[in-house]
Amino acid sequence: MAAAVAARGASGGGLDKQAMDAGKYVRYTPEQVEALERVYAECPKPSSIRRQQLIRECPILSNIEPKQIKVWFQNRRCRDKQRKEASRLQAVNRKLTAMNKLLMEENERLQKQVSQLVHENAYMRQQLQKASLANDTSCESVVTTPQNSLRHASNPAGLPSIAEETLAEFLSKATGTAVDWVQLPGMKPGPDSVGIVAISHGCNGVAARACGLVNLEPTKIVEILKDRPSWFRDCRSLEVFTMFPAGNGGTIELVYMQMYAPTTLAPARDFWTLRYTTSLEDGSLVVCERSLSGSGGGPNAASAHQFVRAEMLPSGYLIRPCDGGGSIVHIVDHLDLEAWSVPEVLRPLYESSRVVAQKMTTAALRYIRQVALEMSGEVVYALGRQPAVLRTFSQRLSRGFNDAINGFNDDGWSLMDSDGVEDIVIATNSTKKIRTDANSANAFSVTGGVICARASMLLQSVPPALLVRFLREHRSEWADYNMDAYCAATLKASSCSFPALRPTRFPGSQIIMSLGHTVENEEILEVVRLEDQAITQDEAASPRDVHLLQLCCGIDENAVGSCFQLVFAPIDEHFPDDAPLISSGFRVIPLDTKDAITSTRTLDLASSLEVGNATQRTSTEKSPCDYSLRSVLTIAFQFPYEMHLQESIAATARQYVRSIVSAVQRVAMAIAPSRPGSDVGQKLLPGSPEASTLAHWICQSYHYHLGLELLRCSDEAGDSLLNMLWHHQDAILCCSFKVQPVFSFANQAGLDMLETSLVALQDISLDKIFDEPERKALYAEFAKLMEQGYVYLPAGVCLSGMGRHVSYEQAIAWKVLSEDNNVHCLAFCFVNWSFV
């Protein structure tokens, strides 16, 4: 008896109250609990057949009825869920506690700043009353950096004093009032936010500050942040020139860093800095940095003509241990990017503190938060890939694209002669290696290389996120499948072949599979499969499916960023970790950084119903900033070649990128919002309603057939109703009313259930998601569906687009009627679905 009672305290054991005849308690022995726990670890929700099989296979369970075992598993799942919820609430509580501490510190800083401003105001009044000089130097506001901010490194004995001065100035910015900080518009602090982000107001240069809680130890955070190329995508290289110890166990380093230019219209930047790492008396770790004098300083001075020397004012990281684990991280970036050296139209990029905050400051905080989540096991990626491997792929894609845009001479790039028109720049690199084989770790051809065709263009009134999403979801509008197939073939063929050997056509379909994404969806890594559309029997026997590794940035509606891009590279279907990547793609950078531009248009919903032009909004739905939004689009495409085909590939590349530029211009005109007063109204997509109209039909038909409301507030209309349907907790899908039904629409839960995207959804038919028994059950109820307009389907299992089993408690099917009462499509609602 004692053993049975003791078992109650064991994991998953104890007394389970049975909802049975006499409401008795059932006692499990430790051996029975162990057997049940083993099964639970493999399958937390076994079927009735599996439970009966368990009783037969385990003699120790022979005295327990199947219903009792079912209740045990129910209670075990409930306890598991409670433990997870308790753990989640504890994590949220720690975040709120740390956030409260940060807000209190921020409040204290603001109070000090108010006190200082009051004092300065009183002083200025006193000076005015004395009729002193209007420009008295004593009335000047706080200067964050001494006038002569650049220091020489020729005398190492003076470096410790420079380091201590840099530390003091950095701390005055991170926790003091040396800079007038204002909250970054659109960033709201909270337990799920990246942190508290602020930008400078009225100081020299551009500056940004962020602070937040990260579940990592301070030493690990310092290690990550000092490795700037791993998280800062614009950092080309960082080299420590020399290092020597300082007091308090700290170190002083002389660092040379190069930054990529974001577009072909501006030169790159480099920095020559002193970096000081030390610890404070309270146990906090500090890494602070500032520029040193000397335009030729640094180990790579030979390539300095391609760079503009920028200045880093006292900046750095303050990492403080947090009670209960983790760290509170303060980040300050203060730069002078020498805006005079770029064309006037691009100067907002170099004069905006918002851009620094989004590209550099919050990028650092997001990266260490991402690493913390991955190390805790909270992030699981597709294909069983390790997080570090996928991060490396993302970094390599981005670095390859930046290399193509900048074309540095020390990387082997050189310009080719133009054809008389300066719209497309052609560069060649005969030293770039792209193919791996058994004989060499990285060998392509002794007589070949890579050609890059790049161009930049200004866009007016085109929301960047909308344009990038369109380019991603409608590849057939701008891409040539033959060029993709050619680049993919060079990865495995013994020699390159001229691309224009077969008729140009678009692939039969585009299937997008997500590999992983960052915490706030600002970056998405995915694999795209382009299916070959065979023309002849010989082609059908050997299809040329193309696989692309693709990185998307800024396409999520809620993502906040200063750069929107789509970068891809052909990859072998086996997807090896060391696969060579030749990056190509698009980058859109907003130039009007003072405006918080967030696209609220529903292209992702409306365009998924039928491929066509983007849906236009009425003039009352547009914000004034849509009409003046300016951005710069940079395009760079790379093509491998062999020496005897260099001129042919260069001519083909130039013509291909010109066709892409023309296609993008057409797309930009189509998706640009109409100006107020124009006669362009809200148009319907060919053969299909707009997304808001379809949402109205779905809800209206559900009420008509079932007499119930699908949504809580079904009297809503337009985008409000569409938004409610999109975020509905149950999976809602629509398929065409044809002989072979194909899905045309799904809400977010439906896409999650099918593990697909809105574009790839159109490649999934109704038959594909049901196995034979479920199809028979559906067909048996089809006549009833046609007669009464709806039907309830019992609990069952379907398949996702990735082939995983999905269970659901109930499914409801109904006919969706249009305004003229004709059947437009069939709708399905899967209630309480989960992956098996």
pLDDT band at 217 (very low <50, low <70, confident <90, very high): very high
Among 41-55, 70-84, 121-135, 265-279, the minimum mean pLDDT is found in 121-135
Task: Determine contact, residues 433/442, Cβ cutoff 8 Å.
Answer: yes
Phi, psi of 121 (to 5 degrees): -65, -45
CB 613 within 8 A of CB 688: no
Give residue 538's pLDDT.
55
**Number of residues assigned to the chain:** 836
Q: What is the pLDDT of residues 471-508, one digit of tens each?
A: 998 888 898 888 888 888 877 654 444 444 344 445 55
Within a 10 A sphere around the Cβ of 191, how many other Cβ atoms? 14
Distance CA 223, CA 242 (A): 18
pLDDT of residue 605: 31
Tens digits of residue pLDDT in 633-655:
999 999 998 888 889 999 999 99
Average pLDDT along the chain: 77
**pLDDT tens column, 143-195:** 344 444 445 555 566 788 999 999 999 999 998 888 888 888 766 655 556 67
Name the H helices within 432-552.
464-473, 481-489, 537-541
pLDDT tens sequence across 555-604: 765 555 568 999 999 988 777 777 889 999 999 999 876 534 333 333 33
* Residue whose structure tokens are 């993302």: 394
**pLDDT confidence of residue 476:** 83
CA distance 381 to 386: 7
Rounded Cα gap, residues 165 and 161, in angstroms: 6
Residue that is written with structure tokens 């551009």 in the block: 206
Cite the DSSP H helix spans in 672-717: 691-706
Burial degree of 449 (CB within 10 A; 0-12, 13-18, 19+): buried
* pLDDT score of 717: 56
Alpha carbon separation from 248 to 277, 281, 286, 834 (Å, rounded): 10, 10, 12, 55
pLDDT above 60 (res 327) = yes
Range with lowest mean pLDDT among 183-192, 276-285, 560-569, 790-799: 183-192
* 3-class secondary-structure state, position 318: strand
Domain 398-434+448-488+504-532+545-594+628-671, what fold? Alpha-D-Glucose-1,6-Bisphosphate; Chain A, domain 4 (3.30.530)
Which residues contact residue 11 at a Cβ distance below 8 angstroms, ignoring those fewer than 6 apart? 33, 37
Q: Which comes out higher in pLDDT, residue 378 or 615?
A: 378
Grade residue 385 by pLDDT with cuts at 50, 70 and 90.
low
Q: State residue 593's pLDDT score.
A: 61
Report percent pLDDT > 90 for the chain: 26
Give, in order, the Cα–Cα distances in Å from 122 to each of 69, 73, 113, 127, 701: 79, 72, 14, 9, 70
Residue 299 pLDDT more than 70?
Answer: no
Given this model, what pLDDT does residue 618 score? Answer: 35
Determine the pLDDT at residue 97.
Answer: 74
**What are the tens digits of pLDDT across the range 685-709?**
333 346 788 888 999 999 999 888 8
pLDDT of 331: 95
Find which of 3-17, 193-207, 647-661, 679-693 is predicted with most confidence, using mean pLDDT: 647-661
Q: In 10 A of CB 325, how many CB atoms?
A: 10
Q: What are the tens digits of pLDDT across the range 755-784?
A: 777 766 777 888 888 887 788 888 888 888
Higher pLDDT, 249 or 235: 235
Tell me: pLDDT of 279 over 70. Answer: yes
Q: What pLDDT shows up at residue 92? A: 72
- Residue 40 pLDDT greater than 90, yes or no: no
Which position has the token pair 């009425």?
Answer: 618
Mean pLDDT of 133-143: 43
341-355 pLDDT, tens per residue? 898 889 989 999 999
Integer CA distances (angstroms), 409 to 238, 394, 415, 431, in order: 18, 24, 9, 11
330 near 175, Cβ under 8 Å?
yes
Query: Per-residue pLDDT for 824 more than 80?
Result: yes
As a whole number of angstroms, the distance between CA 738 and CA 744 comes to 12
State the Cα–Cα distance between residues 232 and 234, nearest whole angstrom. Answer: 6
pLDDT at residue 236 in the model:
94
Residue 679 has pLDDT above 50, yes or no: no
Q: d(Cα 831, Cα 836) in Å, to the nearest integer?
A: 15
Lowest mean per-residue pLDDT among 18-22, 387-391, 537-541: 18-22
Instruction: Using alpha carbons, select from 409, 179, 196 the residue that is nearest to residue 303.
Output: 409
Instruction: Rank 181-190, 429-438, 541-550 by mean pLDDT and report only the highest.
Output: 541-550
pLDDT band at 621 (very low <50, low <70, confident <90, very high): very low
* CATH code of domain 689-712+719-835: 3.30.450.20
CA–CA distances in Å: residue 589 to residues 75, 258, 457, 465, 759: 53, 20, 11, 10, 25
Which letter does DSSP use for residue 291 in this model? E
Which two three-digit tokens encode residue 606?
A: 């409306």
Count of beta carbons in the 10 Å neighbourhood of residue 63: 10
pLDDT at 73 over 70: yes
Give one word for 420, left, alpha or beta, with left for phi > 0 and alpha for psi -120 to 50.
left
Instruction: Tally helices (H) and strands (E) across the chain.
Output: 21, 30
DSSP E strands: which ranges in 176-314?
181-183, 196-200, 206-214, 235-245, 251-259, 268-279, 285-291, 307-309, 311-312
Among 819, 825, 731, which Cα is nearest to 785's?
Answer: 825
Integer angstrom CA distances of residue 79 from 196, 377, 799, 834:
36, 21, 28, 18
Nearest 5°: the CA angle 508, 511, 517 is 160
pLDDT of residue 212: 87
Of 201, 173, 95, 142, the closest CA to residue 330 belongs to: 173
Specify which of 193-207, 631-645, 662-676, 717-731 reaches the highest per-range mean pLDDT: 631-645
Q: Is 735 helix (H, G, I), strand (E, B) or coil?
A: strand
The reported pLDDT for the residue numbered 332 is: 95
pLDDT of residue 238: 93
Distance CA(66)–CA(423), nearest Å, equals 75
Which pLDDT value is given to residue 598?
A: 38
- Say if residue 406's pLDDT is above 90: yes
398-434+448-488+504-532+545-594+628-671 has the same fold as 158-379? yes
pTM: 0.64
> What integer is the mean pLDDT of 276-298?
84
pLDDT at position 537 over 50: yes
Which of 146-150, 255-259, 752-756 has the least mean pLDDT? 146-150
Q: Which of 116-120, 244-248, 293-297, 652-656 has the lowest mean pLDDT?
A: 293-297
480: left (phi over 0), alpha (psi -120 to 50) or beta: beta
Angstrom CA distances, 616 to 18, 268, 472, 558, stand at 59, 38, 19, 21
Q: What is the reported pLDDT for 811?
A: 92
For 1-15, 273-287, 299-313, which range has the lowest pLDDT when averaged over its residues?
A: 1-15
For residue 56, give both structure tokens: 């037969």
**Nearest alpha-carbon partner for 327 in 207, 250, 222:** 222
The domain spans of the chain are 158-379, 398-434+448-488+504-532+545-594+628-671, 689-712+719-835
Residue 57 — left, alpha, or beta (φ > 0 → left; ψ -120 to 50 → alpha)?
alpha
Tell me the CATH architecture of domain 158-379: 2-Layer Sandwich (3.30)
